[in-house]
Amino acid sequence: MSEVTQQKQPTVTPLRVVVALCLVAPFVAMLWVSSYAKVEPLFAGIPFFYWYQMAWVVISTALTMLAYQLWQRDQRARKGGESK
């Protein structure tokens, strides 16, 4: 009898950790209100409290796009590894 040894790919990989960090970072930044609940420094006359949150809209979009691209790369690598 021939045994087919199939190596199971690890569930937690460094790439998946980076994806998770990209998705969790905006939540941590927005839930830690005491870090940005202030008026100074002003940016174009806008208090820090407001422009910090608006900056995170753009940052969150970029991090979500990065997480998606990394996830797609991980999924392609897993599909390619299964056929071997």
Per-domain boundaries in the chain:
19-77
pLDDT at res. 82? 62
Contacts of residue 39, defined as CB under 8 A and 6 or more positions apart, other chains included, come to: 47, 48, 49
* b/e per residue 37-66 (b: at least 16 CB within 10 A): eeeeeeeeeeebeebbeeebeeebeebeee
47: left (phi over 0), alpha (psi -120 to 50) or beta: beta
pLDDT tens digits, 33-70: 998 999 999 999 999 999 999 999 999 999 999 999 99
Question: Cα separation of 36 and 17, whole Å?
Answer: 26
